[in-house]
Structure 1
Amino acid sequence: MTSTTLGARQRRVQGSPLARRRRRVFGPFVAPALILYTVLFMVPTGYSFYASFTTWDGFSDPRWKGTFNYQHLTRDPAFKDAFFNTLKLLFGCGIFLFVLSFGFMLLLREMKGRRFVQGFIFLPHIVSGVALAAFWGFLLSHDGMANKALHSVGAGPVDWLKPEWQFKAILAAIVWINVGYYVTILMAGVDRIPPYYYEEAKLAGTNAWQRFRHITLPMSWDVIGTAAVLWTIGTVKIFEFILAFSGSQGNLPTTNQWTSALYVYGETIGGTSPIYDFGRACAGAVVTLVAVVLVVVVLRRATSRDRLEL
């Protein structure tokens, strides 16, 4: 078929009554979502970028300060702690979380009653972060269940909540909260793989690792990439659990427990000095946003493959 014939067919399709009706319906359905997205995301993001170059307390008019806030971030130990803690969450927790999620997923696929177990693992993800923080603090307290379990086997109590261990306890809790969510995502990707691939591989004499490496992993690669992007975006929004967990111990998070979200909170209404420094907080938010965009772009490129037809 020549290119002229193809072009004529495309023009007939685009000019058909059905195509015109679709275009008329498309606008009314998309316009409200586009307006909300612009008003609730694009406008605040644009204004935050402008405010990051100003001194602004949130009440008076912003005063232009150029790159002063960004220069301050390079010297601010609180921002460095928050940024590196966010990286620990993103990569340290992320690697452990995905390995654990894959392990649970592979176990659940061969387990009877897997839906019940999967729902039980997923449960922490839908519970309030404040409630989970209170439970985690009780679990690790001096008289909590963790130390009672150690006492039952003859081991002494451990001070799980001492300052140098608190952030590690937070990282462990975040893995616990999110593992069920990512098990569900990975399970959805693996369940769509036709069973005859595995049946033929078993007949060929392959072991479980070979089937995972040559069938499960490549055929769920797009789902893994999507899950990695979701984890990257979700990492920078981790806020209420850390705040509530430290609050349950009778104090606010110290700067060495801050993440990027907590840095923004601390610089605006969190009690740092000077309080209500929205310009500096916006600069921190902009740097975090740029870092997230870069990580997402790298992840999409690293996980991009030609579409596999199942």
Structure 2
Amino acid sequence: MTKMKKSKSTALRFSKEKMVPWLFLLPSLILVSIFVLIPFVDVVRRSFFSSMSGQFVGLKNYVAVLQNEAFKLAAKNTVRFTLVCIPLLLILSLILALLIDAIKEQKGILKTSFLIPMSIPVASVVLLWKVFFHENGLLNRILAGIGAEKIDWLNSEWAFVVLIFTYIWKNVGYDMVLWLSGITSISPVLYESASLDGANSWQRFLKITLPNLIPTLFTVTVLSLLNSFKVFREAYLIAGSYPHESIYLLQHLFNNWFTKLDVDKMCAGAVLMAITVVSVIGILQWMWGRGEES
């Protein structure tokens, strides 16, 4: 009987210990369900119905979205923006993290200075960019001063370059801090042993730093991908609902469909976008998992 009571008390204690984390997560889970999961389920349901008649139309909304020329342009620009920006951001932020890690003094000041762009309100950034990139802005005044022709930065192919610059400028400090956290977690003993064996700095970087940064690389890549969708705010406030076609993104398209009350197209497009993003993250996780195993 005593053994049975002890086993019951032990099992009860373990069950309580398992419940404690869930009790802390429960408020967040409830709020996420109310504001994210349940609305998304409703979006998936609406994507199979007509917004006007409420009739079930099957995959008709998805076919209409995939055949829409504006959707094709926005999807192409979004993919191009992602493929260009994320590798540039990862490489540049890693270089900055390595440089700051090599500096022995005033690391905190440097890290804080690179995080300042994230604390600047979007409206202030937009005003700053208009001062620089307007047709009669600061950059064109400099070009005119040296005898070069003016560039319509926001209404030409240069608008894509401006958008890339905006994204990298605002997110490079955040990614740099994430890289630094991964670099500082690597044991200094590994570098000391490699130095004693005659390895130079480049060999230490390839054989020690990069392999140990694989988990950090996955985190930084996913967060950079998610943050790339936030650049729409700057693009919208600078160039409006219909910017130059080189920076017409999926968020512009969804915003325009929303103002026109094309709810069925918007829902179908949102589901397609969600499936694509989740698939990309799943593929990245699978690739990094295989990299860690090997």
Query: Given the two structures, how large is their TM-score scaled by the length of structure 1?
Result: 0.83
Deviation at 1:254, TM superposition (A): 4.7
Aligned positions, number: 287
The equivalent residue for 2:288 is: 303
The equivalent position to 1:276 in structure 2, one of 254, 261, 269, is 261
Mapped contact 1:70–1:283 kept (Cα < 8 A):
yes
The equivalent position to 2:76 in structure 1, one of 84, 100, 121, is 84
Deviation at 1:138, TM superposition (A): 1.4
The equivalent position to 2:256 in structure 1, one of 254, 257, 266, is 266
Mapped contact 1:130–1:245 kept (Cα < 8 A):
no
Check if 1:113 corresponds to 2:106: yes
Deviation at 1:173, TM superposition (A): 1.1
- Letter paired with 2:41: G
The equivalent residue for 1:230 is: 223
The equivalent residue for 2:243 is: 253
Distance in structure 1 (CA, Å) of the matches to 2:188 and 2:21 = 39
CA root-mean-square deviation: 2.7
The equivalent position to 2:122 in structure 1, one of 118, 129, 133, is 129
Deviation at 1:297, TM superposition (A): 0.8
Mapped contact 2:134–2:154 kept (Cα < 8 A):
yes
Q: Could you give the per-residue CA deviations for residues 73-103 of structure 1, whole angstroms, max 9, x where no partner exists? A: 2221111111112212222100111111111
User: Which secondary structure does the structure 1 equivalent of 2:231 belong to?
Assistant: coil
Q: Could you give the per-residue CA deviations for residues 174-230 of structure 1, whole angstroms, max 9, x where no partner exists? A: 111111110011111111111222222223332222111111111111011111111
- Letter paired with 1:90: T
Check if 1:285 corresponds to 2:275: no
User: Which secondary structure does the structure 2 equivalent of 1:55 belong to?
Assistant: coil
The equivalent residue for 2:60 is: 68
Distance in structure 2 (CA, Å) of the matches to 1:17 and 1:49 = 41
The equivalent position to 2:208 in structure 1, one of 206, 210, 215, is 215
Superposed, which structure 2 residues align to 1:13-162 within 5 Å?
Answer: 15-56=10-51, 62-111=54-103, 112-147=105-140, 154=146, 156=148, 158-159=150-151, 160-162=153-155
Mapped contact 1:130–1:240 kept (Cα < 8 A):
no
Mapped contact 2:159–2:244 kept (Cα < 8 A):
no
Question: Runs of at least 4 residues of structure 1 off by over 6 A?
Answer: none
Deviation at 1:281, TM superposition (A): 0.6
Question: Cα 1:158–1:302, aligned 2, differ >3 Å: closer, same or farther?
Answer: farther
Question: Cα 1:143–1:211, aligned 2, differ >3 Å: closer, same or farther?
Answer: farther
The equivalent position to 2:197 in structure 1, one of 187, 197, 204, is 204
User: Which secondary structure does the structure 2 equivalent of 1:161 belong to?
Assistant: helix
Distance in structure 2 (CA, Å) of the matches to 1:70 and 1:245 = 31
Question: Cα 1:100–1:25, aligned 2, differ >3 Å: closer, same or farther?
Answer: closer
More helix by share: 2
Distance in structure 2 (CA, Å) of the matches to 1:24 and 1:170 = 47
User: Which secondary structure does the structure 2 equivalent of 1:206 belong to?
Assistant: coil
Deviation at 1:40, TM superposition (A): 1.4
The equivalent position to 2:179 in structure 1, one of 175, 186, 207, is 186
Distance in structure 1 (CA, Å) of the matches to 2:185 and 2:142 = 41
Mapped contact 1:267–1:278 kept (Cα < 8 A):
yes
Which shows bigger deviation, 156-165 or 37-46?
156-165
User: Which secondary structure does the structure 2 equivalent of 1:196 belong to?
Assistant: helix
Question: Cα 1:224–1:50, aligned 2, differ >3 Å: closer, same or farther?
Answer: same
The equivalent residue for 2:279 is: 294
- Letter paired with 2:207: H
Deviation at 1:163, TM superposition (A): 2.3
- Letter paired with 1:282: C
Distance in structure 2 (CA, Å) of the matches to 1:33 and 1:212 = 40
Mapped contact 1:238–1:261 kept (Cα < 8 A):
no
Q: Could you give the per-residue CA deviations for residues 133-175 of structure 1, whole angstroms, max 9, x where no partner exists? A: 22122122345443455567x3525413332221221122111
